[in-house]
Amino acid sequence: MEAITYIIPGDPIPLARARYGNRRVWDSQKEVKLISTISLVQQHNDNPFFEGPIHMDLIFYIELPHNRRKPFKNQFDYHYYKPDLDNLIKYVADIANGILYYDDCIISAITAKKIYDYEPRTQITVRELNAP
C-alpha cells in the first residue's frame, strides 16, 4: 500500500489523562475523539488496515496567536509552546486505532513537528515500511 495522507481540520488536540472521581474513571475527550474518528473514517474510505511496520509523518499546524502582531517570518515557523508534541502524537495514535490499523503497536517510526499556520489542522501521512 502506498503512502496515504489524512487531514483532521481544526486545532491539533493533545491526549488528556483519564479523569478520576466519585469512584469512577471517564474519558473527558470522548466527544472530541468521536469527531476526529469520523473524519478519519471518511477519508480512509473502507481501505484495508495498514499492516506493520508503518511510518507516521505528523505535522501539527497551530494557529498563530491573536496577540502576535507581526506575520510569520516564513511558512514554517516552529511552535514551541504547549501543547506538548508527545501528547499530540498520542492523541493521533489513539484515534487511528481500529481505523487505519488494528493496534498502534505496529508504528515503527514517527516523524512529527509543530508549526504555525493560518489554517489549524493535523496532517497524518502513513506508509508501510518494507513494502514490496
| Count of alpha carbons within 13 angstroms of residue 1, beta-carbon side | 19
Which cell numbers in the block locate residue 113? 513537528
| Torsion sign (Cα): 85, 19, 39, 118 | negative
Q: What phi, psi does 8 have (nearest 5°)?
A: -105, 110
pLDDT attached to residue 75: 57
pLDDT-based confidence at 13, cuts 50/70/90?
Answer: confident
| Torsion sign (Cα): 102, 41, 122, 54 | positive
pLDDT of 29-61, one tens digit each?
678 888 898 999 999 988 899 987 999 999 999
Domains by residue range for the chain, with CATH: 4-128 (3.30.1330.70)
pLDDT attached to residue 18: 65
